[in-house]
Amino acid sequence: MREHLNAWVEDLAELTDKVQASEQFQQWLDVQSKFHDYSARNTLLIKLQCPDATKVAGYQTWKEEFDRQVQQGEEAIWIWAPIITKKCPGCGNSPSYHANTDCEYDKSDPTDWSRGLVGFRPTSVFDVSQTEGEPLPELATAAHGDSDGLVDALLAATADLDVDARLVAPDEWEHGSARGVCERRSPTTTKPVIEVVERENQAAIASTLVHEFAHAELHFDCDDEPERACREVEAEAVAYIVSRHFGLDADNSAFYLAAWDEEAPDTVRDRLDRISRTASEIIEAVES
């Protein structure tokens, strides 16, 4: 079994190499780079106005950069946009506001002032669900295949793996776009608690469970933030190996790995022993 596991990790490393150079992956990265991160305040405003929003952009951005049109009758989502312009070194205002204040700064001409944040203005954005047009490139990252009984077998193996795990209905899910989490210890058993959102694709649920099992085994007490991408590589590599062992198609995991870590192939090889050992433990727990 160990020889098979090691060979599969090597296969995954080579697959990830190909993904990083693929046209599909590069197109996906290009699109993702055009969606800006929002402040906590703006994120709250977006969720209050459109709770199911996933990707938001301005009217012209949707039209000019994505070839999509806001559908007629859609209501705008209002957020605060930063105002960046020439900024007075004394009072911090723009030239027009500076002229109407009591600021006495006159050591340099306003045309020579550096640009900076001088305030905020309300601006409108729209979620992708409010638009129509050219589809955005997506990456299929879920596992597929005949997973008959595998989810139940994984849940039954939690005692041997020393974790608590449960499936959560979508309407009760509290972890945003994540498909699974391993974030806390049970107050009664002190074991890591794994939660995975229910969906129709049983193979994807199984793959997510294994991914979180790997986190519980390898990373639960690790708080080193620079290790985040490497930990995701390890967990997804374990999910790939276990899924493949049970006959599931998990090749698309390579997209996930490449998105997290620019050095994914080398990382996978360097961590081969941890990955294969953890995959072996999960497989043996399920099969027993």
Per-residue pLDDT of the chain (288 residues; tens, 9 = 90+): 778 888 888 888 888 888 888 888 888 877 877 777 677 788 889 989 998 888 899 999 999 999 999 999 999 999 998 888 888 888 888 888 777 888 888 888 888 888 888 889 999 999 999 999 999 887 666 677 777 899 999 999 999 999 999 999 999 998 877 889 988 888 888 999 999 999 998 998 999 999 999 999 988 776 665 666 678 888 889 999 998 899 888 767 888 788 777 777 788 888 888 888 899 999 999 998
Token output for 147: 């997973």
Residue 176 falls in which region: left (phi positive, over 0), alpha (psi -120 to 50) or beta = left
pTM for the whole thing? 0.67
Whether 278 and 217 have beta carbons less than 8 Å apart is answered as: yes
Please state the domain extents for the chain. Answer: 2-29+140-287, 56-133
- Alpha-carbon distance of 94 to 265, in angstroms, equals 49
The burial of 121, by beta-carbon neighbours within 10 Å (0-12 exposed, 13-18 middle, 19 or more buried), is given as exposed
- Alpha-carbon distance of 284 to 280, in angstroms, equals 6
Which is nearest to 154 in space by CA: 84, 216, 78, 68? Answer: 216
Q: Tell me how many helices (H) and strands (E) the chain has.
A: 12, 8
Rounded-to-5 percentages of helix, strand, coil across the chain: 50, 15, 35
* Interaxial angle between packed helices 253-260 and 228-245, expressed in degrees from 0 to 180 and rounded to the nearest 10: 170
The burial of 8, by beta-carbon neighbours within 10 Å (0-12 exposed, 13-18 middle, 19 or more buried), is given as buried
Helix (H) or strand (E) holding 269: helix 264-270
